Structure 1
């Protein structure tokens, strides 16, 4: 499937380096054989990663993927021109990238895990595909299942965007694939609430990768004093509980996984998505 812009997976500059092992048992993965280098933002900024976010990386493996996709299907308004969808896609492709779509996980032996801000090339994340005729819903679901299946590489911001043309009735769709360390269902609904206009007469076009205004403040208490301390304590308690639950899951299922004999049902252990 061709990328939105020229390029796709680009050859890394300089000599190929051997992947470094990461702490906390996090495996380094790439989406293709060629490494894509993401330059740091001019003002290199990093955000601390919460224990709750980190727990998803501890849980993730080839057998337990923790990324997911959200599929949205649209119908053009009455009287729309044939290039209606193309104009929207072109306008979206010119929009800037905001948090957390410009953040990648950073793991180091001598530091706590962080979210690192990088410069993002849309050609590495945004793809466009035209479905073969007649463009049925079953064809769309099959294409979406194939697009969402590959894991998100930890060396890059954790997202992909696929645009689908050629649906029956002039419809079009897009699929956004994200990582559970950054998004859950409620967060994604909030994102789309800020992305999609409230009125069909609106001329404002935003892209999902512009981010949501509240993401960077999601774990920051707004009030000061005892209320802030209480909220921070509650967040820490929830994070510790999440890590404990993940540890219990590893203890419960780890023996079978290591032995390779466990075909037992596991959380997030479903096989490849089928339409």
Structure 2
């Protein structure tokens, strides 16, 4: 049975092309348990392949037909070819982090096969320090950053002694008791299909109340943009080297910092950790682009995704994100002033979001991303999108393990698009925060210097707040 796909999710399929792959990814690095090595961890993963079990989410395949009037939907693939989806790669000995990131950049550039479920997992051996790397990519139509992080968390354990854990592509421990064949009778003695009309009526009833507030919310979003205030829409982004057409090849650079360093800066500046992340990116971009002699006179504007998932919502898949535009203050010399500018812009935008419902926020965010969506289809727009996408996805706050192998690093990879040749995504793991820089290889030079600029900017912020 073909289940409908939300318009937000289907946009990532409709806008995809060879130059614009629409998948997100993550590079996880595991330290094998004491007394074992990367080959032992790989052997456990290979053993899981022989079981042939696949999570329900990773069985979902995108499809459309005459019965859906050409609209995208989801169907379940009953025979997933794990030999296609789970692959083995190796670095030339001795492999270092530079070689690993180069390999992952090449893997991240390839399109996912739409005739199959939209995901791949690469098991990468050959790291000189004996660790095993696992690169995962999953289509953005299937999962956003927040839901992808929840999927990762479900595959790992806080217990270093836990064994016989399922592989990342298998049903999690939490999913297994709930699994049943589609031919099994539903629990509770009622047919869930009979609830569909009632659910539709509830949605329609709730939507009627929302529609009345959409036009004022959208008008307010435009008004905020015209007055250069925080919100989902920006009309102030200058032209920069990032706002150009892109190719399909990718560059990738990544590094981690102690999360406590950012927390202390945030505490002393009366800001948030996300504000500090944005300020670090501001200073790094100012230095990186300035060294090339093409820094715009006016400040760069970042598009910042914000999760709209409530704390009690159990949804793990799909996309529920709003957008805020943020003045990065790249025209300012003082790092403290750049942080103040970022904090003011984000506070203003968040206050605006609090006055709107989830539906209104989604509508306002859709309005803000119209120029970006037009760019994905190669259609010009008189409104320039923001210069760069910067997102921060909170991760697990405690050490995590897979069958005794400790997760020691998690680097996020995301999606550059036409008009935004660089995407900066951060995620926290245990006591560190990782910055993943994904860029267009044809447009941007080597991104490794950006990592040093980020480090310099964090040090400058620490000095500015008296640490």
TM-score of the pair, normalised by structure 2: 0.41
Picking from 94, 97, 105, the partner of 1:134 is: 94
- Is residue 185 from structure 1 mapped to residue 133 from structure 2 by the alignment? no
1:115 and 2:74 matched: yes
Determine the structure 2 residue equivalent to 1:271: 440
Aligned to 1:155: 115
Matching residue of 2:2: 46
Find the partner of 1:98 among 41, 45, 55: 55
Give me the whole-angstrom Cα distance separating, in 2, the residues matched to 1:239 and 1:165: 42
Q: Which moved more, 1:233-242 or 1:182-191?
A: 233-242
| 1:202 aligned partner | 162
Unaligned runs of 5+ in 1: 1-44, 215-219, 258-263
Displacement of 1:128: 0.4
* Rounded Cα–Cα distance in structure 2 between residues aligned with 1:127 and 1:89: 11
Q: Does 1:167 align with 2:132?
A: no
Could you say what secondary structure the match of 2:152 adopts? helix
1:55 corresponds to 2:11: yes
Q: CA 1:246 to 1:107, structure 2 compared with 1: closer, same or farther past 3 Å?
A: farther
Contact 2:89 2:123 (8 Å CA) reproduced: yes
Count, aligned residues:
218
SS at match of 1:69: strand
Matched, 1:85 2:41: yes
C-alpha contact 1:91 1:205 (8 A) present in aligned 2: no
Judged with a 3 Å threshold, the aligned counterparts in structure 2 of structure 1 residues 271 and 123 are, in CA distance, closer, same or farther, namely same
Identify which range, 248-257 or 104-113, moves more after superposition: 248-257
Give the strand-richer structure, 1 or 2.
Answer: 2
The structure-2 alpha-carbon separation of the partners of 1:129 and 1:86, relative to structure 1 and needing over 3 Å to count, comes to same
Instruction: Give the secondary-structure state (helix, strand or coil) at the position aligned to 2:129.
Output: helix
Higher RCO, Cα 8 Å, sep 6+: 1
Native 8 Å contact 2:38 2:131 kept in 1: no
Distance 1:199 1:240, change over 3 A: same
Name the CA distance, whole Å, in 2 between partners of 1:90 and 1:74.
16
Give 1:169 deviation, angstroms. Answer: 2.3
SS in structure 2 at match of 1:207: coil
Larger CA Rg, structure 1 vs 2: 2
Kindly report the root-mean-square deviation, in angstroms, between the aligned alpha carbons of the 2 structures.
Answer: 3.7
**Residues 1:210 and 1:245: Cα distance change in structure 2 (over 3 Å):** farther
- The CA deviation at 1:120 is 0.5
Cα distance change, pair 82–129 in 1 and its aligned pair in 2 (3 A): closer
Local SS of the residue matching 2:138: strand
- Cα distance, 1:76 vs. partner? 1.3
Q: Is the 8 A contact 1:68 1:178 kept in 2?
A: yes
8 Å Cα contact 1:106/1:116 also seen in 2: yes
Q: Distance in 2 between matches of 1:226 and 1:110?
A: 24
Q: State the SS of the aligned residue for 1:133.
A: strand
Go from structure 1 to structure 2 and tell me whether the alpha carbon gap of 1:52 and 1:199 turns closer, same or farther (over 3 Å shift). same
Distance 1:122 1:231, change over 3 A: farther
Q: CA deviation at 1:78?
A: 2.1
Hey, what's the Cα distance between the residues in 1 that align with 2:129 and 2:21? Answer: 34
Q: Secondary structure at the match of 1:127?
A: strand
Task: After superposing the two structures, state which structure 1 stretch, 94-103 or 79-88, moved more.
Answer: 79-88
